[in-house]
Amino acid sequence: MYVRFGFKGIVGVQPKDGAVIKLLVSYTAGDIHPEFGNPFSFEYLSSPLKASLELVMHAIVQAGQAPPSMSVLRDLARYPSVYDGNAVFLGEFDLLVRRTFPTLRFLSVSNEAEEERARGPSLDNINTLFVACLSAEGGEQVLDEASPEAPVAPLKVAADSLSSTQLAIQATLLSADDSYRVSFVTPVR
């Protein structure tokens, strides 16, 4: 925490000698439990001020928490951020669509890296989000795979064949980040 005062007539406020100033700290980090009346001190570059400033704990309205352990942070890093609707990373695009369209029966959102791992590199994959979905209303084309020994590759859905749900998903993704292209592929059952 730091408090910066000014210099009278130049910038900020210069308190008078003996002035009582209450500081309300509304955010702290970490698990703190100081006692009532516990004294505090600041570090100063100028030593004469040390004797003239006294800081005392008046009250803790709500104590902070200890920071999460590394194992908890590792677990949390596996999940997309949920703090707002901004989509930046792949998991956040997936989460954005799931949050906006909660009734989808199936959804898969992948990026060019995942697409190229599955089907090889292509210039058409650059800056593209690949979406396969099934809405509750239907209307999306689905392929069936009879046996895992005979895999069926998904087909790209033509822009003029998109269902109303696919068009709405496309609009949602482009409103989050219009630098991507959105390509729909058929789910394979």
- Give just the sign of the alpha carbon dihedral 109, 114, 120, 125: positive
Q: What is the pLDDT of residue 89?
A: 66
Q: Closest by alpha carbon to 155, among 171, 164, 145, 142?
A: 142
Mean pLDDT computed over 9-28: 74
Of residues 123 and 40, which shows the higher confidence score? 123
Q: Residue 166: is its pLDDT beyond 80?
A: yes
| Angle at 18 (CA atoms; ends 13, 20), nearest 5 degrees | 70
Q: What is the pLDDT of residue 80?
A: 58
Round to whole Å and give the CA distance between 168 and 115. 22
Mean pLDDT computed over 27-48: 62
Alpha helices in 84-187 (DSSP H): 90-100, 112-119, 164-176
Mean pLDDT computed over 60-88: 69
Q: Name residues whose C-beta falls within 8 Å of residue 50's C-beta, 6 or more positions apart in sequence.
A: 41, 44
Q: What is the pLDDT of residue 133?
A: 95
pTM: 0.55
Mean pLDDT computed over 119-133: 92
Q: Residue 13: is its pLDDT beyond 70?
A: yes
Round to whole Å and give the CA distance between 164 and 168. 6
What band does 92 get if pLDDT is binned at 50, 70 and 90?
confident
- Residue type at 65 in one-letter notation: Q
Q: What percent of the chain lies above the pLDDT cut of 70?
A: 70
Q: Determine if residue 142 is left, alpha or beta; phi over 0 gives left, psi from -120 to 50 gives alpha, anything else beta.
A: beta
Mean pLDDT computed over 25-49: 62
Q: Residue 27: is its pLDDT beyond 70?
A: no
Q: What is the pLDDT of residue 62?
A: 65
Q: Closest by alpha carbon to 4, among 17, 18, 23, 20?
A: 23
User: What is the number of helices (H) and of strands (E) in the chain?
Assistant: 4, 5
Q: What is the pLDDT of residue 157?
A: 95
Both structure tokens of 174: 């482009």
What band does 12 get if pLDDT is binned at 50, 70 and 90?
confident
Q: Which residue has the tokens 């803790």?
A: 60
Of residues 119 and 128, which shows the higher confidence score? 128
Round to whole Å and give the CA distance between 178 and 186. 22
